[in-house]
Amino acid sequence: MRTMQVELGERSYPIIIKNGIINEVGSNLKEMGFSGRAAVVTNPLVERLYGKAVVGSLKAANFDTAVITVPDGEEFKTLKEVSAIYDRLINHRMERLSPVVALGGGVIGDMAGFAAATYQRGVPLVQVPTTLLSQVDSSVGGKTAVNHPAGKNLIGAFYQPKAVFIDPDTLKTLDERELRAGIAEVVKYGVIWDKEFFEFLEANAKALFKCGVELTHAIETSCRVKAEVVAKDETEKDLRAILNFGHTFGHAVEKAAGYGAFRHGEAVAIGMALAARLSVKLGLCEKGLYERVCVLLDALGLPVSLPDFPADALIAAMKHDKKVVGGAMRFVLLKRLGKVFLQDVKEADIRAFLSGKQG
Ligand code: NAD
Ligand code: GLY
């Protein structure tokens, strides 16, 4: 078992990483002082896999537990589904101190998180992430959101959970493509923050897919980095933006390809390769570093080449990104392994870079 703390004053919370912890959610919540009612928000697929374990543990700890399922998929990350969650929370007479347990991937975590943040102006939220992406990224840090027809994650709130329970064993049922996509976010932490971790990933690229100790170490390190960054800049005034390394290009690729064509992590892999290449082009880092990032992503089976999209489509998509501040195109760029920084780049330079397909 590995426990670490996200240090945010009185809103600090533990991340507990342990095989089998999915069976101990109830006893942990009881130990944390919760009692009475609880609600588990999940989807039908995850409920079938892990609902019994989590709900059983809550019932064994005497929680009067409701299970709230929402349909599986990003297209259901909407206010309409959150409204249906509110209805169920009201029916179950959930009160100010009744915990909402988000059981599933990032879609469930974001939606259940937003429902918990807003129902009765905030009830306790507990994250039980079951995809790699949600274990290393979305369950930690308090970003909750739903999508709007005008864009992804446009409606949301910063709302920290009371605890994050990560069971690496749950990844054994995850589709390999989902696992691989989550690994892209893991690579991101090595590039932006921790050179030794990047080297660990280079040495263990194949072993990660065994879902054993190597992957658990990768989850622990990723959570440690994310916790450190969030503790320094909870609401993304500055430092936290480095977690978006590869994402400005990645979101543009996702949008230009049509949502669903790429998994988010696959688009981020292309985006990280592009951001590294742009860093070289701007004379900020050595070419060898770009090549090294690409070699690792490739060894992990992740894409690194930009598909043949018109530069205009990518630029238009980037301008829509809420990470574009005041019209400037802000990128997380690479100095060396473990060291990145934010820099505005002129639209004309990005256009020339993308038109030359120098990614
Ligand atoms: P997801 O939640 O859609 O999960 C992917 C698929 O895996 C789903 O079909 C799900 O039902 C299934 N699944 C979940 N756990 C499983 C398991 N253990 N075994 C088998 N199948 C399982 O996708 P995701 O990649 O986890 O999350 C993507 C979402 O996360 C996006 O909506 C994105 O905006 C959001 N996100 C949020 C943050 C944040 O900081 N809040 C960060 C990154 C991404
Ligand atoms: N996934 C980026 C962040 O949490 O800030």
Question: pLDDT by residue (tens digit) across 298-351?
Answer: 999 999 998 888 888 899 888 876 556 666 689 999 999 999 999 999 998 999
Q: Are residues 234 and 129 in the same domain?
A: no
Question: To test ligand 1's pocket by mutation, which of 72, 133, 245 has the most ligand atoms within 8 angstroms of CB?
Answer: 133
What is the arithmetic mean of pLDDT over 36-61? 98
Please report whether residue 178 resides in a domain: no
Which long-range contacts (C-beta less than 8 Å, at least 24 apart) are formed by 145-148? 145/77, 145/110, 145/113, 145/114, 146/77, 146/78, 146/79, 146/81, 146/82, 146/110, 146/111, 146/114, 147/74, 147/77, 147/78, 148/79
DSSP 328: B
Please report whether residue 303 resides in a domain: yes
Q: Which atom of ligand 2 is nearest to the CA of 244?
A: 2
Please report whether residue 39 resides in a domain: yes
Ligand 1 centre distance from Cα of residue 105 (Å):
3
Q: List the catalytic residues.
A: 121, 143, 185, 226, 236, 240, 244, 247, 251, 264
Question: To test ligand 2's pocket by mutation, which of 158, 186, 243 has the most ligand atoms within 8 angstroms of CB?
Answer: 243
Please report whether residue 179 resides in a domain: no
Ligand 2 centre distance from Cα of residue 140 (Å):
8
Residues 239, 328: Cα–Cα separation, whole Å:
18
Helices 311-320 & 247-257 angle (0-180, nearest 10): 120
Q: Are strands 100-104 and 125-129 parallel, antiparallel or unpaired?
A: parallel
Give the domain-ending residue among 173, 208, 235.
Answer: 173
Domain range for 331: 188-354
Q: What are phi and psi of 39, to 5 degrees?
A: -130, 135
Give the domain-ending residue among 117, 146, 173.
Answer: 173
CATH number of residue 204's parent domain: 1.20.1090.10
Q: Are residues 196 and 241 in the same domain?
A: yes
Ligand 1 centre distance from Cα of residue 203 (Å):
27
Please report whether residue 181 resides in a domain: no
Q: Which atom of ligand 2 is nearest to the CA of 185?
A: 1
- The pLDDT of residue 173: 98
pLDDT (tens digit, 9 = 90+) per residue, 68-103? 999 999 999 999 999 999 999 999 999 989 999 999
From the list 70, 238, 95, 234, the residue with the least C-alpha distance to 157 is: 234
CATH number of residue 10's parent domain: 3.40.50.1970
Ligand 1 neighbour 226 (Cβ under 6 A): no
Ligand 1 centre distance from Cα of residue 355 (Å):
33
Ligand positioned closest to the Cα atom of 222? 2
- The pLDDT of residue 202: 98
Task: Please list, in sequence order, all residues whose beta carbon lies within 8 angstroms of the beta carbon of residue 233, skipping any fewer than 6 positions away.
Answer: 239, 240
32 pLDDT band, cuts 50/70/90, is very high
Give the domain-ending residue among 173, 208, 236.
Answer: 173
Please report whether residue 57 resides in a domain: yes
Q: Are residues 221 and 97 in the same domain?
A: no
Please report whether residue 183 resides in a domain: no
pLDDT (tens digit, 9 = 90+) per residue, 197-216? 999 999 999 999 999 999 99
Question: To test ligand 2's pocket by mutation, which of 138, 248, 332 has the most ligand atoms within 8 angstroms of CB?
Answer: 138
Ligand 1 neighbour 139 (Cβ under 6 A): no
Please report whether residue 114 resides in a domain: yes
pLDDT (tens digit, 9 = 90+) per residue, 126-157? 999 999 999 999 999 999 999 999 888 999 99
User: Which percentage of the chain shows pLDDT scores above 90?
Assistant: 88
Q: Are residues 169 and 192 in the same domain?
A: no
Ligand 2 neighbour 227 (Cβ under 6 A): no
Ligand 1 centre distance from Cα of residue 112 (Å):
12
Q: Are residues 83 and 50 in the same domain?
A: yes
Ligand 1 neighbour 161 (Cβ under 6 A): no
* Whether the Cβ atoms of residue 168 and residue 215 lie closer than 8 Å to each other: yes
User: Which residue's CA is the nearest one to ligand 2's atom 3?
Assistant: 243
Q: What's the structural domain count of the chain? A: 2
Rounded to two decimals, the pTM is 0.96
Q: Are residues 200 and 131 in the same domain?
A: no
Q: Which atom of ligand 2 is nearest to the CA of 243?
A: 2
Q: Are residues 284 and 313 in the same domain?
A: yes
Q: Are residues 313 and 254 in the same domain?
A: yes
Q: Are residues 123 and 266 in the same domain?
A: no
Q: Are residues 119 and 244 in the same domain?
A: no
Q: Which atom of ligand 1 is nearest to the CA of 108?
A: 2
Q: Are residues 196 and 160 in the same domain?
A: no
259 pLDDT band, cuts 50/70/90, is confident
Residues 181, 162: Cα–Cα separation, whole Å:
27
Q: Are residues 203 and 314 in the same domain?
A: yes
DSSP 73: S
Q: Are strands 100-104 and 64-69 parallel, antiparallel or unpaired?
A: unpaired
Q: Are strands 339-345 and 329-336 parallel, antiparallel or unpaired?
A: antiparallel
- The pLDDT of residue 359: 44
* Whether the Cβ atoms of residue 13 and residue 139 lie closer than 8 Å to each other: no
Residues 331, 267: Cα–Cα separation, whole Å:
16
Residue 357 predicted with pLDDT over 60: no
